[in-house]
């Protein structure tokens, strides 16, 4: 499922990160009064009245000693590239500034909905200045206070109203998958090998892919849509000095996918960046396959494959359910197995099991390994039912959810996996007290 993306832009110190955190419902971006303090998390899920979307906090752009207006331009250009809706944040106490007008001129060219949020409008005196912001040309300004949560309902209503719709579009029943990984792990070569054509430019220079285009193809009578994640669309030299936007693009591609292929480079081994993006795919509940590319480049013996697999399992312990495939884009080794594996994982991701069969498995598991007790009180499991797919989600009704230790929950999950084929997909177990 493709989630709409909202970018929050504006000059430094207008309260973008405060607004971002308030809408996200948690303190993600660092907030200080010093301009340009945001450095890390710039991407977060959000929800308003049942509508889910993704947010970008463009305050995280750090271009070193480049001029102030260049930084603003880069923020706006990134928002234009990535967002479905753009929120321009200004500061009520400071009024309309030259910098606000510069940002506005760039956003005029975006051809995307731009909503003007006038932040720090905490009192009646300051609110009177809001009318000045009509001069920016984006219609009604929305007075808000990120610090106190004032006016956010009206702002969010307007944001959601401007999301793109799929009305009238043909239903896409293809399996959507994406390839994610660090630059130069061979994603583009894998794309070309899968499609049997030079679909994307391949180079030994890391980060050469610039355009993200979904590609449809058919294999073994199954239709697939490959979500291109290669990293960094180029607008001038906007992204050349930062890798965080390749991560952001990968995150969006993950949200758009049924199955995610985590691509590793056999020559270079496993890096922290691999674990970071794979962790997001796991948290997002997507089906996952681990692809070890450039397998042809290693000098191998009888233990090489097993040793590498053991290393992956140790470094990605939370992906114990994900199948591993050792491939070579250059020689085509094992790539013929990939479409069938993607289809199997996608099927498992949407699998639903009958409650009666599920409860037989749960009760047999409890007989095999009785529930834990604490201070003379024993955890009682009454019944379980599957409430969702993609990923498969189960609610387990118990007498006291606090007594469900992590280790016992993992035991129940493993028992479910032993009896049903959920290879490649995370499972979510939720404990509820029976009323």
Nearest to 316 by CA among 260, 366, 365: 260
CATH number of the structural domain 175-349: 3.40.50.300
DSSP character at residue 145: B
Percentage of the chain beyond pLDDT 70 is 80
Q: Which helix (H) or strand (E) holds 389?
A: none
pLDDT of residue 217: 86
Cα(351)–Cα(355) distance, integer angstroms: 13
Cα(187)–Cα(228) distance, integer angstroms: 9
Neighbours of 94 (CB within 10 A): 15
Cα(150)–Cα(41) distance, integer angstroms: 24
Q: Give the confidence band of 25 by pLDDT, cuts at 50, 70, 90.
A: confident
Percentage of the chain beyond pLDDT 90 is 49
Mean pLDDT across 140-153: 91
| CATH 3.40.50.300 domain residues, the chain | 5-161, 175-349
Encode pLDDT of 309-326 as tens digits: 999 999 999 999 999 999
Q: Are strands 175-180 and 259-265 parallel, antiparallel or unpaired?
A: parallel
- Residue 43 pairs in a beta bridge with 56
Which CATH architecture fits 5-161? 3-Layer(aba) Sandwich (3.40)
Nearest to 189 by CA among 113, 263, 278: 263
Residue 237 has pLDDT above 90, yes or no: no
| CATH 3.30.300.20 domain residues, the chain | 355-433
Binding residues for GTP: 10-17, 57-61, 119-122, 181-188, 228-232, 293-296
Fold that domain 355-433 belongs to in CATH: GMP Synthetase; Chain A, domain 3 (3.30.300)
DSSP character at residue 223: E
Binding residues: 10-17, 57-61, 119-122, 181-188, 228-232, 293-296
The three-class DSSP label of residue 242 is: coil
8 Å CB contact between 385 and 416: no
DSSP sequence for 296-316: GGS---TTHHHHHHHHHHHHT
Encode pLDDT of 191-228 as tens digits: 888 887 655 555 555 554 444 457 888 888 999 988 86
């Amino acid at each position: 499922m493709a989630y709409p993306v909202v970018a929050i832009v504006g000059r430094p110190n207008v309260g973008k990160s405060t607004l971002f955190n308030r809408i996200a419902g948690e303190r993600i971006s660092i907030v200080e009064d010093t301009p340009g303090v945001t450095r890390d998390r710039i991407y977060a899920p959000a929800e308003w009245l049942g509508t889910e979307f993704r947010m970008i906090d463009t305050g995280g752009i750090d271009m070193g000693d480049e001029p102030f207006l260049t930084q603003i331009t880069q923020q706006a250009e990134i928002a234009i590239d990535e967002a479905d809706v753009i929120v321009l944040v200004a500061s009520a106490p400071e009024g309309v500034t030259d910098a606000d007008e510069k940002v506005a001129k760039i956003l005029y060219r975006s051809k995307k909905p731009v909503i003007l949020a006038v932040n720090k409008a905490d009192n009646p005196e300051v609110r009177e200045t809001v009318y000045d912001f009509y001069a920016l040309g984006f219609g009604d300004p929305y007075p808000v206070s990120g610090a106190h949560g004032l006016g956010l309902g009206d702002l969010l209503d307007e944001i959601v109203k401007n999301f793109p719709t799929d009305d009238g579009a043909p239903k896409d029943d293809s399996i959507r998958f994406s390839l994610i990984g660090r630059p130069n792990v061979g994603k583009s070569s894998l794309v070309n090998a899968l499609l049997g054509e030079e679909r994307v430019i391949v180079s030994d220079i890391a980060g050469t892919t610039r355009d993200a285009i979904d590609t449809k193809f058919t294999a073994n009578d199954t239709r697939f849509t490959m979500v291109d994640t290669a990293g960094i669309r180029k607008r001038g030299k906007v992204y050349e000095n930062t890798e965080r936007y390749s991560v952001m693009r990968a995150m969006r591609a993950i949200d758009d996918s049924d199955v995610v292929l985590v691509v590793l480079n056999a020559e270079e081994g496993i890096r922290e960046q691999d674990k970071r993006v794979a962790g997001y795919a796991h948290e997002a509940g997507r089906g996952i396959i681990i692809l070890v590319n450039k397998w042809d480049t290693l000098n191998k013996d009888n233990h090489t494959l097993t040793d590498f697999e053991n290393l992956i399992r140790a470094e990605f312990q939370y992906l114990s359910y994900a199948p591993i495939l050792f491939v070579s884009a250059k020689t085509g080794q094992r790539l013929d197995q990939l479409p069938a594996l993607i289809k199997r994982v996608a099927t498992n991701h949407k699998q639903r099991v009958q409650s009666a069969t599920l409860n037989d498995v749960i009760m047999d598991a409890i007989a095999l390994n009785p529930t834990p007790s604490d201070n003379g009180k024993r955890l009682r499991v009454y019944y379980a039912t599957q409430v969702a797919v993609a990923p498969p989600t189960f609610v387990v009704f118990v007498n006291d959810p606090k007594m469900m230790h992590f280790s016992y929950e993992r035991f129940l999950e493993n028992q479910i996996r032993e009896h049903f084929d959920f290879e490649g997909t995370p499972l979510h177990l939720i404990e509820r007290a029976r009323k």
